[in-house]
Structure 1
Amino acid sequence: MRFTGRSAVLAMALVVSAAWPALADKITVKDVTGRDVQVEAPVQHIILGEGRQIYFLAALEKDAPFKHVVGWRDDLPKADPESYAAYLAKYPDIAKLPTFGGMKDGTFDIEQAVALKPDVILMNIDAKTATEEGGYIEKLAKVGIPLVYVDFREKPMENTEPSMRIMGKLMGKEDVAEDFIKFRADSIKRVSDVLEKENPSRPLVFVERAGGYSDDCCMSFGNENFGKMVELAGGINMAKDIIPGTFGTVNPEQVIASNPDQIIITGGNWDGYVPGGDWVGVGYGADIKEARRKLENLTKRPAFTGVKAVKDGNVHAIWHQFYNNPYQFVAIQEIAKWLHPELFRDLDPEATFKELHARFLPLEYKPGYFVSLKDE
């Protein structure tokens, strides 16, 4: 077919438009603080206000999780060195990514951020106060850089779904975000449906946050994060009436007096922060035998003297970073198995985590995220 005159011009325009990448459109997203933020989307250049935000970005960008990242905070190598090493092995160019300090500690370099010309800066909600006090939102707005808050830590059971939807909208990956949200909801339902049907008695559970990270005891969780995960898994969070917010501390005497039925300690490899510390190094591909040894060692501290959970061997450790990413449903399944082994005999959290990796994440799954004194 031959085109002449105006028809030829129209045909050429169609060819060019088909070959030319779609231009970004300005959209409005409501972040988890309720702010309406205008962003050019799908975004092409992102600054991650925390390195561990790669946990959820990777779930949306499985084939190329760092494709749009132009800078990130420097926390991942120390907070989760095994995951960082795995990502580095697969994507060696991330070693060249510009790194930032945090807004909370005042080391975020706004001039460096502006120079990288990001379409958006993602910030965790726990940095909100420092961000506002530093006037960062206004300073960035003057150069046309929007800042969007997400949350997987302060109120993760409330904010994970909206945060994933925000990210899906920003990345042009709404379908992937909805698939992930459904997988998460279905995985939690496998626990909640059984609990609703069987209505078992609920054991009293003490969750120690980062046990062994320091000599002090005992950091824990109020009625959110791991505290809420315990409740969803069929337990009673010991600290929910002691700690008014998400994070706080209970004293050793309170643990002894409460005499919990179960103890769960969050852990990770924190050699970068506390070399040779007593922390339990669970995580990606962790040495479970060594983790179990260190877990048992933590039960000898004064706070656990004579406690029922220790006597019965119902002491467990779980990957700390479940508190800061959208994979909490795996933790809920594992906790449910610890608290109600007979009810959840057929539930396999490892299989759930493997499926998560196979469907959504770029890394091959490696076990090592859980350990228990009940393990053989």
Structure 2
Amino acid sequence: MQRGNIMNKHASVLLTMAFAVIFFSALSASAVSYTLQIFGNANMDEIIDDADISYLEKVIKGEADNTKFSDANNDGTVDEKDIDQVQNIIDGTEEILVVFDDTARSVEIPEPVKSFVYHGHNSYVYETVRAIGVSDRIIGITDRFVTPGGNRYSKTYFPELLSNVESVGELQTVNYEVVNNLNPDVVLTDAREYYDHTKTPDTPVIALDVNITNSKEAAMRYGYIFGKVSEAKEYVDWSTEIENMISEKIKDIPESERPLAYFSGYDLDRTKFSVPGTDSYRAVMIKNAGGRYMGDEIKGTGSQSVDAEWVIARNPDVIFFSAGNSVLGYDIYSPKNATEAIDEFLKRPEFADVEAVKNKQVYMISHPYILCGGASGLIGSLYYAKWLYPDLFKDIDVQEVHQEFVSKFQHLDLDVNKCISAYPLPE
């Protein structure tokens, strides 16, 4: 399928959507549907407010059913004390906050949280807490962020981690002595299977990952944990506006006419390719951008190794490769490595008849920083959308959106136009 043909067929769509960018900021963030996973959210909506007090009053009177988070103080009984707890949460004066985490544990957190350690795998949890303004509270983080050569190491993107934060060891071999000596108010982890909370018994451990499917609710949970609810709400509203804008622009494109997109890490041996399953976050990003995902036949969230023939037989219209921080990222200022990798792939004779290769629709995106997680994954979807539908998204400057994320929510003096996080850049 030719990308130009797609756009010719959808000229009317472009005209219809031309005003989308004008009104997308007015779209309601209430369209987001999730349940805030904090005890006290008695009515099971997206926020803790007076409606939860009203609901608890009905529960106590026997006029409403008890819910998962009605027992705000987690003492086993729903009573007036829970109303007091909800009022304290609303006022920001609670002494204990009970949070439901990714491992279905009810974790009691002493408030306020003034320090934390991040047992981090990806960058998305830290991006989220930095977005709500608590980066000054981090005192420890895993080795991959603070050791040169680590796969999340960046002088440009994480400068504060390199000067003020102590390493707590590697992801799978945590230095619990260091954690205990740091004595944080809480440990955040996105890799709970590698953290033994019994080794730091005096510190609550919250397993709460951030990914493209849970980012809004996770941001709000962190907002309550750190006493930054309004900041979290602003962050969620901003990302919701972008998400709504993308979906509005692509909603009228029939599934059958959407470009078939293939995603893979670009393996160094160049003989095997990894294809994430249909439920993976990488697939979600492509679908959110308006593409058909070539790995839909692979079930689940894991990846399957395939050979070149598998890719060739499916004939993708567009190919997306992810690249590590030696090729793309906030510390990369030359496209040389990305250009060489793409050019080498385009020259492979076995792929010569693949539509993506014939039309030079092969792109690379930063694996550590614009893939899968939270708002950064949303920005990745916007890059995809610009590549897939350049005319439909011609009124959107993806780097301007990217810059707003970096400047306003990551609080960095960093010019995204000077570094190479995606290549080649959308027109």
- Give yes or no for contact 1:282–1:371 (8 Å, CA) kept in 2: no
1:179 aligned to 2:234? yes
Alpha-carbon offset, residue 301 of structure 1: 4.8
Give the aligned partner of residue 258 of structure 2: 202
The range that moved more, 241-250 or 349-358, is 241-250
Distance 1:220 1:31 in 2: 29
Partner amino acid, structure 2, of 1:48? Y
1:56 aligned to 2:128? yes
**Aligned pairs for 1:301-316 within 5 A:** 301=348, 304-316=351-363
Select the residue among 189, 196, 207 that pairs with 1:149: 207
Distance 2:350 2:113 in 1: 49
Alpha-carbon offset, residue 206 of structure 1: 0.5
Alpha-carbon offset, residue 294 of structure 1: 2.5
Select the residue among 140, 153, 165 that pairs with 1:71: 140
Alpha-carbon offset, residue 233 of structure 1: 0.7
Q: 1:91 to 1:130 in 2, by over 3 A?
A: closer
Give the aligned partner of residue 43 of structure 1: 113
1:350 aligned to 2:422? no
1:325 aligned to 2:381? no
> TM-score w.r.t. structure 1 length?
0.78
Distance 1:227 1:249 in 2: 16
The range that moved more, 163-172 or 227-236, is 163-172
**Aligned pairs for 1:1-376 within 5 A:** 25-50=95-120, 52=123, 53-61=125-133, 65=135, 67-76=136-145, 77=148, 78-81=150-153, 83-88=154-159, 93-94=163-164, 97-103=166-172, 107-124=173-190, 127-131=191-195, 136-140=196-200, 143-152=201-210, 156-199=211-254, 201-209=257-265, 211-213=266-268, 215=270, 217-222=272-277, 223-270=279-326, 280-301=327-348, 304-321=351-368, 322-326=370-374, 327-363=376-412, 364-367=414-417, 368-372=420-424
Distance 2:254 2:361 in 1: 21
Alpha-carbon offset, residue 160 of structure 1: 1.3
Alpha-carbon offset, residue 300 of structure 1: 3.9
- Give yes or no for contact 1:48–1:123 (8 Å, CA) kept in 2: yes
Q: What does the per-residue CA deviation read over 1:105-151, in whole Å, with 9 as the maximum and x for residues that have no partner?
A: xx112232222211111111xx33344xxxx13443xx321111122
CA-based RMSD of the aligned residues comes to: 2.6
Give the SS at the match of 1:75: helix
Give the aligned partner of residue 50 of structure 2: none
Distance 2:406 2:319 in 1: 28
- Give yes or no for contact 1:49–1:72 (8 Å, CA) kept in 2: yes
- Give yes or no for contact 2:188–2:207 (8 Å, CA) kept in 1: yes
Query: Percent of pairs identical after alignment?
Result: 24
Alpha-carbon offset, residue 255 of structure 1: 0.5
Alpha-carbon offset, residue 246 of structure 1: 4.0
Q: 1:333 to 1:375 in 2, by over 3 A?
A: closer
Partner amino acid, structure 2, of 1:147? V
Distance 1:100 1:265 in 2: 30
Q: 1:225 to 1:366 in 2, by over 3 A?
A: same
Give the SS at the match of 1:157: coil
Give the aligned partner of residue 4 of structure 1: none
Distance 1:302 1:79 in 2: 32
Partner amino acid, structure 2, of 1:172? G
Aligned pair count reads 324
- Give yes or no for contact 1:206–1:264 (8 Å, CA) kept in 2: yes
Alpha-carbon offset, residue 34 of structure 1: 3.1
Alpha-carbon offset, residue 329 of structure 1: 1.4
Q: 1:192 to 1:129 in 2, by over 3 A?
A: same
Give the aligned partner of residue 10 of structure 1: none
Q: Unaligned stretches of 5+ in structure 1?
A: 1-21, 271-279
The range that moved more, 42-51 or 295-304, is 295-304
Partner amino acid, structure 2, of 1:366? V
Distance 1:137 1:267 in 2: 33
